[in-house]
Structure 1
């Protein structure tokens, strides 16, 4: 065994332990001579790893031990301090940055052939002329037929250096021979604004799925576009939004608040405060905003809702939010992995911390949704538990509460029909998307004659298509799923999925929102305000 190999586990262990130690100290005011002082606890950890590596009776992957150790340490802290392994870092970074370098397609392995479901708007493939239904036969001369390449490997083949070229051979139905496309890899946006359109003549709608680096620019563009169309009120849909960058949330709040209004402040372990205020750049300060939240709206979503509520701006609509008031900083550990460590707590302008308790451990913390459902809180606002000791008052005298999420101004109960567990499972696992693709393949030419507006207003999903879905699921899941009790809801999801594949951006939510009780509530509220 070489010396490099012998000492590698020790080097890794020391690097990771030091990375945790130094990362936790950086930017907290310590001088450099304190960063490397000896610590018996860290020495013990390194020594244990060395003993296992050198003396344990069987061969052990030391890297896996380090991963387990890091996760074990973080589990003792709080639910939101997490370890990101090296293998996951690229995907996590791309998601938060808001783009990746690739060719810009959504695909499906259909009959052992890589088939394009749709191209990403303005992405490299769309610009090259690739369309939904195209079969990719080869990439740079390498065959992709026969199901020999799994999805992860395919993604690796399609990604590459920015501006590098990928030559694709493509089969397109109706064409006598294979088509050749020279696709230049480029940055492909991962959209965080899912939809932006007018709900009524005066009420605009924007759906945001997370707060990435690119989110504010997407939001601003959508907001200005809706203003040009006559929007004097806005429905900002943050349901299911898990959060992201605090600074991006502050930028969005700034569009609604008058100059110098406090947006949010954070306090670290040493009591240092960092305050964020509204500036002059707000473009919707005179418009009314309805912020839609639910039990899965967290972190940055709650910053927006809390900032507006505490400044008596707009109306918060929905159900009590998740309750995450901790701020993380990503710290690299030297081997390609990183840790997101909680470094401060944030507070809404009235001084509320909306972080719910995690004293009973992470499992209990993450079971909160089931607890709320069992208590009846998701169906009845009177079941929401509040503490008088956490009562705060806004400048106009409205009572608000801390200690576990943002309680909305207007409550809307959980829709047990449209949010059916089976439907949610099928949608999230991609079954509905893949089924619709296969249905579309049977008669793609017929659908090409339908306009976007005609589809939205007049197209009806048939009972036969629902029956076909049942047969498809029986084949794919080997379970007998029948939709007798909620056939209309299934049809609605199928139409939304079909609309997305046919027309792209915003189509899914524009169709799904037609039967959304929270959207209906916001429309009613806006009409009452106008009158």
Structure 2
């Protein structure tokens, strides 16, 4: 899978010239979104000033060949599909992030960075080919219509969706729709003798990119940004202001798994942390038409407090720009693992049929001059194996497995050495913990049995859980050996044989995950993250660093 971002907002295009609320995401859609740029107007065919004759000859040659194939080939062909295929293969010769998005996929790809959408407002999962409600969104149409966690959706407007192997894309198409439109859901609910019909009127649903924000203790806040969408900065400001009112003086900013998004949202957030007039990022393209420099310019809301940023191999593009700016200015301690390494800027070009070309037009650099983009000189296939190769090379487990060339050495504002050439290397490395992930654990997850068991437990104990405050639940509740055995028995009924050794290895992780899932259903998303953080190695390292401001690492940051 490639990675990338919408790198320039519409109001900053140089002259001349998107765990969603849905619990399942499509790999193809995410792959497209991760390789995109800003939305701009159509760009009609115009040969390059450098080689106008070569460009024109190539254009006419392709047109001629396609005409012959369409007219004379022995079998009937779809000329449009052939053209799309040829364009896709041509772009693969350029770089991993220049992509062509057919018209039928463009709308879905762009929706990743929208701050809202029209739909029913429900998180769902697939349990044994059945669409199961994980949670209706607060005050959304589904909640107002009476949908409950655990409800199984059997049909949508009379068309069965259970047991027919629908893709997530298919389900999006059926459940989303224009606001004001109605959809009839046939729902099977535990405790009722027969299915019920639930009519839901679609409405505008917020699509938050600030996943969660809460106070860990009376000074330390935690804020997770899942992507940089159109509303991310406003969401961030609201969340940060709320944490400040609760006494925030130290912040853990979580960018793990953040694939990027609109660059200006990331730089505006960087501006909230970095005082004065300092460079945040710059871009360089062909000639100077796409060269830009972005500086901090406002009095930010959190320019003095202690800041730790969490990153990993899933942090890409605009997320790397934010982490790189904070690291280069010695404003934050970066904790985790080396980021993805996407430093190319795409410009979207709308085509006449509704499809879109997202063309790389520049590279971006951190304030110290680092290019974040990793090498793609060995071809697209090898580029897409990069994360897999990192695992084989031991990079996820040992910081000294990562090697940087001396020519890529740069210095931060306080003189610390940092490296370019492929992602942001954290100041404090935390190895990936796979000790608990046995083969048995991976098969449990693959069958979706852990999520299903958590939801089932909540349904069976709903009254008891709702009578208990989250603080009491978090302190006292434990997943027992008996409950783990119940999960094992359910797995055996679904064709997964018991594995005592595998269960012993993954038992601590399973206990934490099951408790978090139960908390999610009983108390909401914030409770889910609070429980998960207790077994989160990177989070615990961040808290240790942030609570000891006189350690050597934070001392390097001048805090």
TM-score bracket, normalised by the shorter chain, equals: 0.7 to 0.9
The one-character-per-residue Cα deviations of 1:316-362 (angstroms, maximum 9, x if unpaired) are: 11122111111112222332322222111001111111111111112
Change (3 A) 1:424 1:267: farther
1:277-288 superposed matches below 5 A: 277-288=295-306
Q: 2:99 matched to which residue of 1?
A: 82
Q: 1:449 matched to which residue of 2?
A: 467
The one-character-per-residue Cα deviations of 1:48-91 (angstroms, maximum 9, x if unpaired) are: 22222221112223333222212201111111122223332232
The separation in 2 between residues aligned to 1:311 and 1:508, in whole angstroms, is 33
1:346-357 superposed matches below 5 A: 346-357=364-375
CA contact (8 A) 1:417 1:489 kept: no
The separation in 2 between residues aligned to 1:24 and 1:41, in whole angstroms, is 24
Tell me how large the CA RMSD over aligned residues is.
Answer: 3.4
1:399 to 417, 424, 442: 417
CA contact (8 A) 1:109 1:147 kept: no
1:133 to 147, 150, 153: 150
CA contact (8 A) 2:436 2:507 kept: no
Change (3 A) 1:359 1:155: closer
1:364 paired with 2:360, answer: no
Change (3 A) 1:445 1:278: same
The separation in 1 between residues aligned to 2:525 and 2:344, in whole angstroms, is 33
Q: 2:322 matched to which residue of 1?
A: 304
CA contact (8 A) 2:257 2:315 kept: yes
Change (3 A) 1:461 1:443: same
CA contact (8 A) 1:311 1:395 kept: yes
| More displaced stretch, 50-59 vs 315-324 | 50-59
Q: 2:486 matched to which residue of 1?
A: 468
CA contact (8 A) 1:114 1:144 kept: no
Change (3 A) 1:315 1:418: farther
1:175-324 superposed matches below 5 A: 183-272=200-289, 273-324=291-342
The separation in 2 between residues aligned to 1:283 and 1:429, in whole angstroms, is 45
What's the offset of the Cα at 1:417?
A: 2.7
The separation in 2 between residues aligned to 1:199 and 1:424, in whole angstroms, is 30
What's the offset of the Cα at 1:26?
A: 4.4
Q: 1:98 matched to which residue of 2?
A: 115
The separation in 1 between residues aligned to 2:432 and 2:129, in whole angstroms, is 40
Change (3 A) 1:236 1:494: same
1:335 paired with 2:374, answer: no
| More displaced stretch, 490-499 vs 182-191 | 182-191
The separation in 2 between residues aligned to 1:296 and 1:146, in whole angstroms, is 33
**How many residue pairs align between the two structures?**
507
Q: 1:375 matched to which residue of 2?
A: 393
Change (3 A) 1:434 1:46: farther
2:509 to 470, 483, 489: 489
CA contact (8 A) 1:49 1:62 kept: yes
1:62 paired with 2:62, answer: no
| More displaced stretch, 409-418 vs 303-312 | 409-418
List gaps (5 residues or longer) in structure 2: 1-39, 552-559
CA contact (8 A) 1:113 1:144 kept: no
TM-score normalized by structure 1? 0.85
Change (3 A) 1:392 1:150: closer
| More displaced stretch, 333-342 vs 435-444 | 435-444
Change (3 A) 1:213 1:158: same
Change (3 A) 1:110 1:404: closer
1:517 paired with 2:537, answer: yes
Change (3 A) 1:113 1:269: closer
The separation in 2 between residues aligned to 1:156 and 1:448, in whole angstroms, is 34
Q: 2:344 matched to which residue of 1?
A: 326
1:26-65 superposed matches below 5 A: 26=43, 39-65=56-82
| More displaced stretch, 276-285 vs 425-434 | 425-434
What's the offset of the Cα at 1:497?
A: 2.1
What's the offset of the Cα at 1:107?
A: 3.2
| More displaced stretch, 473-482 vs 375-384 | 473-482
Change (3 A) 1:215 1:69: same
Query: Bigger relative contact order, structure 1 or 2, given CA contacts below 8 A and separation 6+?
Result: 2
The separation in 1 between residues aligned to 2:541 and 2:130, in whole angstroms, is 45
Q: 1:4 matched to which residue of 2?
A: none
| More displaced stretch, 187-196 vs 438-447 | 438-447
Change (3 A) 1:501 1:340: farther
What's the offset of the Cα at 1:104?
A: 0.5
What's the offset of the Cα at 1:212?
A: 1.4
CA contact (8 A) 1:166 1:182 kept: yes
What's the offset of the Cα at 1:439?
A: 4.1
The separation in 2 between residues aligned to 1:330 and 1:116, in whole angstroms, is 36
- Look up the SS of the partner of 1:131 in the other structure: coil
Q: 1:507 matched to which residue of 2?
A: 527
TM-score normalized by structure 2? 0.81
Change (3 A) 1:431 1:188: farther
What's the offset of the Cα at 1:174?
A: 5.7
